[in-house]
Amino acid sequence: MLKCDHCGTEFDVAVVEKLYADKEQAAAAAGNEPEWNTAGAGSEWGEDEARQIRVYNCPSCSAQLFCEETTAVTSCPYCGNPSVVPGQLSGVLKPDYVIPFKLDKQAAVSALTKYYKKKKFLPKAFSVGNHIEEIKGVYVPFWLYDGESDANIRYHATMVHKHRHGDYETTVTEHFRVERQGSIDFEKVPVDASTKMPDAHMDSIEPFEYGDIKDFSTAYLPGFMADKYDQDADECSSRANIRIRKTTENEFASTAPGYTTLVPEYTDIRLKNSEVRYALLPVWMLSTKWKDKDFLFAMNGQTGKLIGDLPVSRAKFWLWFFGISLPLMVALGIILFMAF
């Protein structure tokens, strides 16, 4: 037996060896990031397809957008810069998949108008009709990750019971060792591949419904733009790993209900059979500047889910504040006067 010098507790040697082995295994697992197979992500453009594609570069925010040659481009959807510079299609893979726009521009304008009406302190410049009409449909580049997570998780769980006997309350805490092992298949875990599109915006307008996914064709491009990815699949894989691991942890914990507490003591999650595909997903976007700050509105072009960064008009806020507080102060003064 081994004895702790601090608390005097005695342990069997095998127990201590198992404890250290678990810690070493967990440390090894934490540093074991999977290597995603990116060989099948995207393909080369055909000569005829490439001739039908126009590329635009924004000199303000450096966004690179491509679209079908008949698409009229007036401004950058990310920063609102009115001038974009034509260029040649190069250094970009052809997507594997596309989810076509299901909601048209009128639906996007209506949703944005309704969204603005709920914001009492929005500056007037944001809600005028001619500004809202500048909303643009953009296919945002995504890497879609397929894989399987093998997991072995051990928890320390407790179950607390309270009993009252007369003037006394007794609390009984039971302790359990809970173990879970198994695997989960993941398909098309999305990670956006554009640094211009804020990750928080894209996370907020998910999910996309993959039942509508199609093999890519330039026939889906007329009337819309597509952002050129500037982060490859390897760069984005860390976000996919985090999402898969977090989901695995949550799903495994959900199989052990009924405990008062459930705390992971040891977690080993390994990803395998990992492949990546390249897709374009539909987003309606509107960018606006207000007092030298950029604000971006984004709406899922398939489901209508939306998110927006909006400024606050201080003038409207103070008008509202005094419009509420002054009548209340007058009413309170009258009540106090009558009371005395």
The residue-averaged pLDDT of 235-262 equals: 93
What is the tens place of the pLDDT at every residue in 45-104? 887 877 778 788 888 888 888 877 666 666 788 877 776 666 666 667 889 999 999 999
Q: How many CA atoms lie within 13 A of 9 on its CB side?
A: 7
Domain ranges of the chain: 1-31, 36-153+187-254+270-309
What is the tens place of the pLDDT at every residue in 144-196? 999 999 999 999 999 999 988 888 999 999 999 999 999 999 999 999 998 88
Q: Which of 39, 84, 119 is nearest to 308 (CA)?
A: 119
pTM of the model: 0.75
Amino acid sitting at position 96: D
What is the tens place of the pLDDT at every residue in 293-306? 777 888 999 999 98
What is the tens place of the pLDDT at every residue in 265-311? 999 999 888 899 999 999 998 877 666 677 788 899 999 998 876 65
The residue-averaged pLDDT of 11-21 equals: 69
Share of the chain above pLDDT 70, in %: 74
